[in-house]
Amino acid sequence: MSAPEIRGLQKSFTRDEYTSPAIFASELETIFSKHWCYVGRADKLSHIGDRMVCNVGSESILIVRNRESQLRAYFNVCQHRGSQLCDESGSGYGAAITCPYHAWSYSLDGKLVGAIHHEKESFDRECISLKQVRVDEWQGCLFVCLDNNEVPLLKWLENMYSKPLELDKFGMAGLKSVRTTVDEAQANWKVLVENYSECLHCSVVHPEFCDLVPVFATGRTIDKDRGDWGANLADGVNSISFKQNQGLTLIPGMDDKSLFGAYVYPNMLIDVSPDSVAVTTYIPRSPTHTTVITDYLFPADMAADSSLDLNAVIDFNDLVNHQDIAVSERVQRGTASSAFKQAYHTEMEKYAMQFVKQYRQDTQTH
């Protein structure tokens, strides 16, 4: 029996949509294998031969920088007998991708260039090459798309309901990654997205954050009197940090009184504060498990200045992140109850509703 309609509330996801392995598997196909997914920062691939191993949908993907300094992405699988090729991201591998099983090696452009114990002419090497997938970059952020029919990345971002291209003015491409945090959240990826999309929980869960951003204590994510989706920082606050007035450099296009955030469907969060940007990706592992990876970006001069306490910024954001993960895990445990049928949203959760709408469009379920 379906959950009742309730006046003033909109239906969100059902218990099954938070918990079912079959629905989770179909999401990987209909959402994560169809659209552009954020996978990490491009400055992790700054040299020829640098690698990034990432998960998109149910696939392991290998991204490399080739000899022409272009990005190339491949399914992370050898075309000889199917061994997974690379285990880790990193630098210093040189210009060949060598399979750990029989040591066949591929160029950075995916061509088979070496097969030990075999004469060059003994089989048709041209017919064996890595299977390429689409990779592109926006503001120093790498995206992969497994579907050749999807629109180009910039078009995808332009059409996005949360308007991420409005963040272009902050010049994220020029910022430097100072630290990457990885958390394993025992929660469905949609629970995490819904949580990010509303601030009804902020006064309860994030008291420290509300002290810095007063509008959050009212349950709203943006200040109504602003036309730019921003939130005002409290008087005397100029950094989302345990320390104020450190003399940190502002990121380009930013002032010292504002905070912006955007969710980029399906798996990316961007949080812009006066002196730093946190870019997060959700990697769905199972109906009840999501890996949360956050890169903390700063202006290059700050990243190089050891006299600054950037940990005060990173640790504050990490605290908020852990508070969010803890409540999301609590939700996930609750959704498993037979007494839970369906989540609801109030009109104050309208960004979460937009997410549900986009999800319904993709999955065509009701």
176 CB-near residues (< 8 Å, 6+ apart): 43, 297, 298, 299, 300, 303
176 binds, among ligand FES, Fe ion, none (CB under 5 to 8 A by kind): none
Q: How far apart are CA 36 and CA 157, in angstroms?
A: 9
Q: Which of residues 149-168 bind ligand FES (CB under 6 A)?
A: none
277 binds, among ligand FES, Fe ion, none (CB under 5 to 8 A by kind): none
Encoded amino acid at 118, one letter:
H
101 binds, among ligand FES, Fe ion, none (CB under 5 to 8 A by kind): ligand FES
Residue carrying structure tokens 């491949």: 74
Q: How far apart are CA 15 and CA 35, in angstroms?
A: 25
144 binds, among Fe ion, ligand FES, none (CB under 5 to 8 A by kind): none
Q: Is 203 exposed, middle or buried (0-12, 13-18, 19+ CB in 10 A)?
A: middle
In the complex, what is the shortest distance from the CB of residue 57 to ligand FES, in angstroms, rounded to a whole number?
A: 22
Q: Is 341 exposed, middle or buried (0-12, 13-18, 19+ CB in 10 A)?
A: middle
324 binds, among ligand FES, Fe ion, none (CB under 5 to 8 A by kind): Fe ion
Instruction: State the DSSP code for 273.
Output: -
In the complex, what is the shortest distance from the CB of residue 78 to ligand FES, in angstroms, rounded to a whole number?
A: 3
Q: At what angle do helices 189-196 and 350-363 cross, to 10 degrees?
A: 140
In the complex, what is the shortest distance from the CB of residue 226 to Fe ion, in angstroms, rounded to a whole number?
A: 20
- 96-98, strands of its sheet edge to edge: 96-98, 105-107, 112-114
> Prior bond to 266 cis, omega within 30?
yes
Q: How far apart are CA 160 and CA 285, in angstroms?
A: 24
Q: Please say which residue, 64 or 325, places its beta carbon nearer to Fe ion.
A: 325
Task: Determine which residue in the list 70, 101, 286, 326 makes contact with ligand FES, applying CB under 6 A.
Answer: 101
Q: Is 70 exposed, middle or buried (0-12, 13-18, 19+ CB in 10 A)?
A: exposed
In the complex, what is the shortest distance from the CB of residue 109 to ligand FES, in angstroms, rounded to a whole number?
A: 18
99 binds, among ligand FES, Fe ion, none (CB under 5 to 8 A by kind): ligand FES
Instruction: State the DSSP code for 86.
Output: -
Task: Determine which residue in the list 34, 102, 179, 220 makes contact with ligand FES, applying CB under 6 A.
Answer: 102
- With CB under 6 A as the rule, give the number of residues binding ligand FES: 8
Q: Which of residues 297-356 bind Fe ion (CB under 5 A)?
A: 324
Site string for ligand FES, 69-88 (x = CB under 6 A): ---------x-xx-x-----
Q: Please say which residue, 78 or 215, places its beta carbon nearer to ligand FES.
A: 78
104 binds, among Fe ion, ligand FES, none (CB under 5 to 8 A by kind): ligand FES
Q: Please say which residue, 79 or 258, places its beta carbon nearer to ligand FES.
A: 79
- Dump strand ranges (E) for 79-208: 96-98, 105-107, 112-114, 132-138, 141-145, 176-185
Q: Please say which residue, 73 or 97, places its beta carbon nearer to ligand FES.
A: 97
Pull the structure tokens for residue 11. Answer: 């239906």
Q: How far apart are CA 244 and CA 36, in angstroms?
A: 37
Site string for ligand FES, 103-122 (x = CB under 6 A): -x------------------
Site of interaction with Fe ion (CB under 5 A):
324
Site of interaction with ligand FES (CB under 6 A):
78, 80-81, 83, 99, 101-102, 104
